[in-house]
Structure 1
Amino acid sequence: MGVRRHQDYGFFGPDSVTWRVWSYPTSLVLGFLRAVVIEELDPHLVASVDQSGQVKQRPKLRYDRTMQYFATVKFGDAESVLRASDTLMKIHSRAIGLDPVTGGRYDANDPASQLWIHLTAWHSILYTYEVFGPGKLEPEEEARYWEECALAAEFQTIDPADVPRSREGIRAYFAAYRPRLVGSEVAQDMMDFLLDANSIVLPDGVPAPVRILFNAVTRRAIIATMPRWMRKLGATTQSGLTDRIAIATARPFVRLIAASTWLQVWALRLASPRTAPILEPVMRGIPPVRPVVREPEEARAEYGIVDPRTQYQELLAARARLAGPDPYPLHHREALIPFPA
């Protein structure tokens, strides 16, 4: 099978810490699932997920498309990143409604909600890289990682100035956000569903013993990386001994896959076929047509794509004039467009 070359390195490139951390095998399952499990504790987010009904109706498709989006932002060429960001912005424009737990109104494009998802993902990917992979980054490398996290925020409605630039800043953010989190029945149910990784990641046809073993290890390994207070909110408690066994069991498998490009490509194609064309050129070291790293402002001018923050302000103004898009109906089935709602 031929591998399609990207047009350029996008906005990060091979010298970035982002490429090193996000291309490591922990991102594909452990890091991604840790992020989406924790995200469900936000009552606004889980209300949006629950009312759309798409995660439980089509879990494999949603996983595949969400991985595709994440990979595009980090590893795709500049035009692909901007068009993916623009598509997601438009999908999210209809993901609005009422949160029955708090009585508040959720809006998938709200910058505060986007920041919660963004930081949970970037922290989870880094943390699982540390726990199951090579270990902690050097201080200078970690500083670069959070700077690159702020750059990635430009492709959502987030103000990059709101992104912490250090581990201490990330901890302070989560501590400040903690009072907003709720371990509701809906949140706990969704977290439990997402922790059953075999139904989300593994394709049909995988033998039952493999599915059972895969799920037992990944579920416990993900929980082992979660703070105790989050486990309590999510009703996902387990003992410290189980934590240690799960990590010790998962770590050698992750490192085995990391040692082989062939195994990484095989696992990627198996788990997320839509992501493979984006990440495979990076895994195989295939250079793009133009081996340059782009700047967001310059690329937006070239491709004529407005940044998400500006689009969001225009959307809010349109809603104020009662001209905005209608929210999705309950348990809608959206069209099979390339990126996740």
Structure 2
Amino acid sequence: MGVVRSMRKDAQHADYGFFGPESVTWKVWSYPTSLALGFLRAVVIEELDPFLLASVEQSGQVKARPRLRYDRTMQYFATIKFGDTASVLAAADTLMKIHARAIGVDPVTGRQYDANDPDSQLWIHLTAWHSILYTYEVFGPGKLTAVEEEQYWAECARAAEFQTIDPADVPRSRDGVRAYFEAYRPRLIASESAQSMMDFLLDADTIVLPPELPAPLRRLFTAVTRRAVIATLPRWMRRLGGTPQPRVVDALAVALTRPAIRVVARSTAVQLALLRAASPRTVPVVEPVLRGTPPVLPVVSTPAEAYAHHGPTPREQYTALLEARARRQGPAPYPPAHREPLLDFA
């Protein structure tokens, strides 16, 4: 299926998609901590997985076109959370197609990696959902209620259905998420490439800020953002990533960042201005949510309802892809340092 454009010119969605205004997902993911801190924390941590890192380094595009990659990835995550039904299904299809060729041999472990593998997808998925929630708690309004947190993780499992992940594998509580990360920890590798990529991603001005901004402002932004993100990492992860930081710096970074985030959260105009500067592709997806613009049809869909009409789910598509590979068919792997097509997710 090709990319479906269901957005109206007046930035009004066709429907509420799969979450809607009553969801905890909208409450947490629309808060300004998501834009840089939560997202950066997630992508920094993800690099410790050698399979993900191998896929990233195969393309070479994170370092070659960092702002574009950030913009497109933010657009994808925003579409899944805030987009209308057709846009979400199109984004899931597009990501599946992009990942179908991202296969090869990891040079660190010597094992085969596959960007569509459900195990790898779950690592990325949970790292993102946990990071967005954790930075919301540290720099934003604080912890959710017990009922809200239960709903948040249930919605995390719902979002997993737009990837190859089995939603039954998604933990439904904070303790379950902690257990997942503890079990995954032995698989993480602090290679030189991983540490280099983590260090690169922590230079947030390269990824988030427009190049025309004055250098002193860019350096200040990176200095604070880097330290704020590191302040949220557990000590063992800092050792793996080569990102040590004293506790006093942690406290100072949080003390400086938290009030700035809360000031931004008071103004929709400021949030949209920052979003336009950091991720212009994401603005049409998020703007109706921030402005409270109702969709054409105020309904929330379920993945089962949507895929009953749309066609195969990502898990079903992946099964077919594996069968094609077994017959030596299917898409060829990307060549090294390829340039991905400029596809929109919404």
Give the TM-score category using the shorter length. over 0.9
Provide, for residues 127-169 of structure 1, a one-character-per-residue CA deviation record: whole Å limited to 9, x for no partner: 0000000000001100000000000000000000000000000
1:272 equivalent to 2:279? Answer yes
CA distance in 2, matches of 1:255, 1:305: 42
Provide, for residues 102-131 of structure 1, a one-character-per-residue CA deviation record: whole Å limited to 9, x for no partner: 111100000000000000000000000000
> Counterparts of 1:189-228 in structure 2 under 5 Å?
189-228=196-235
- Aligned AA for 1:285? G
- Aligned AA for 1:16? S
CA distance in 2, matches of 1:32, 1:11: 21
> Counterparts of 1:314-325 in structure 2 under 5 Å?
314-325=320-331
Structure 2 counterpart SS, 1:89:
helix
1:99 equivalent to 2:101? Answer no
CA distance in 2, matches of 1:338, 1:193: 25
Structure 2 residue aligned with 1:259: 266
CA distance in 1, matches of 2:283, 2:238: 32
TM value normalised by structure 2: 0.96
Structure 2 residue aligned with 1:308: 314
Give the deviation of 1:236 after TM superposition: 0.6
Across the aligned residues of Structure 1 and Structure 2, the Cα RMSD in angstroms comes to 1.0
CA distance in 1, matches of 2:345, 2:286: 16
- Aligned AA for 2:147? E
Structure 2 residue aligned with 1:39: 46
CA distance in 1, matches of 2:195, 2:170: 28
1:157 equivalent to 2:164? Answer yes
Displacement over 3 Å in runs of 4+: none
Provide, for residues 224-247 of structure 1, a one-character-per-residue CA deviation record: whole Å limited to 9, x for no partner: 000000000000111000000001
TM value normalised by structure 1: 0.98
- Aligned AA for 2:104? G
1:138 equivalent to 2:145? Answer yes
Structure 2 spans left out of the alignment, 5+ residues: 1-8
Structure 2 counterpart SS, 1:97:
strand
Structure 2 residue aligned with 1:19: 26
Contact 2:41 2:131 in 1 (8 A): yes
- Of 110, 117, 120, the residue aligned with 1:113 is 120
- Aligned AA for 1:197? A
Give the deviation of 1:325 after TM superposition: 1.1
- Of 56, 77, 87, the residue aligned with 1:80 is 87
Give the deviation of 1:339 after TM superposition: 4.6
Give the deviation of 1:297 after TM superposition: 1.8
- Of 329, 337, 341, the residue aligned with 2:343 is 337
CA distance in 1, matches of 2:122, 2:241: 21
Structure 1 counterpart SS, 2:16:
coil
CA distance in 2, matches of 1:278, 1:161: 28
Provide, for residues 238-276 of structure 1, a one-character-per-residue CA deviation record: whole Å limited to 9, x for no partner: 100000000101111100000111111111111110000
- Identity level (%): 71
Structure 2 counterpart SS, 1:106:
strand
Structure 1 spans left out of the alignment, 5+ residues: none
Provide, for residues 170-191 of structure 1, a one-character-per-residue CA deviation record: whole Å limited to 9, x for no partner: 0000000000000000000000
Stretch of structure 1 that moved more, 330-339 or 14-23:
330-339
- Aligned AA for 1:324? G
Contact 1:86 1:305 in 2 (8 A): no
Provide, for residues 188-237 of structure 1, a one-character-per-residue CA deviation record: whole Å limited to 9, x for no partner: 00000000000000012101111010000000000000000000000011
Structure 1 counterpart SS, 2:161:
helix
Contact 1:3 1:281 in 2 (8 A): no
Give the deviation of 1:3 after TM superposition: 3.7
Give the deviation of 1:300 after TM superposition: 2.1
Contact 2:33 2:140 in 1 (8 A): yes
Contact 1:39 1:117 in 2 (8 A): yes
